[in-house]
Structure 1
């Protein structure tokens, strides 16, 4: 699956994790993936498969559209 704007996604992923005050290990454990794999998503070096993207969206309570297309740093409610 190609996400498109991988930089926006990786920035948003890092932002929501920081905002939730969670470590990469904590999030990756919850998503049932390795920390190394999760780290690659935040670095923009890899894109998650669709089922992991859905898990991420649900875990952080952020729509997939917002994760992929918006700059979440500019949203006040996140």
Structure 2
């Protein structure tokens, strides 16, 4: 699913209008409409604000998962050394 569809779905599921989401993001309704329609790419800072507003993960908005919340479970000790992951 493309993130523009997720943006619209989330907004409609929360019974919000584009104007109210734009106010939350401190942008105009016209700017938000461009992001939701895919005519302009959504900046990372606005993605973060939308994740916090809707209480969902960025993976959900971006369409990488259908789970709204990411469930992290670290079972091993992991070191990251200059970009290389080492399992202990």
**Fold match by TM threshold 0.5:** yes
Structure 1 consecutive aligned stretches of length 4 or more whose deviation exceeds 3 Å: none
Residue 21 of structure 2 aligns with which residue?
Answer: 27
Structure 2 vs 1, CA of residues 67 and 19 (structure 1 numbering), >3 Å: closer, same or farther? same
Give the TM-score, by structure 2 length.
0.69
Unaligned runs of 5+ in 2: 70-88
Aligned length: 69
Counting strand residues as a fraction of each chain, which structure ranks higher?
A: 2
Supply the distance in 2 between the matched residues of 1:76 and 1:61 (Cα, whole angstroms). Answer: 8
Residues 11, 71 of structure 1: alpha-carbon distance in 2 compared, 3 angstrom cutoff: farther
**Residues 45 and 21 of structure 1: CA distance in aligned 2, closer, same or farther (over 3 Å):** same
Q: Structure 1: which 5+ residue stretches go unaligned?
A: 1-6
How far does residue 50 in structure 1 lie from its aligned partner after superposition?
A: 1.0
Find the counterpart in structure 1 of residue 4 from structure 2.
Answer: 10
Higher relative contact order (CA 8 A, sep 6+): 1
TM-score (norm: length of structure 1) = 0.77
**Does residue 41 of the first structure (1) align with residue 40 of the second (2)?**
no
Provide the aligned C-alpha RMSD in A. 2.1
Structure number, greater radius of gyration: 2
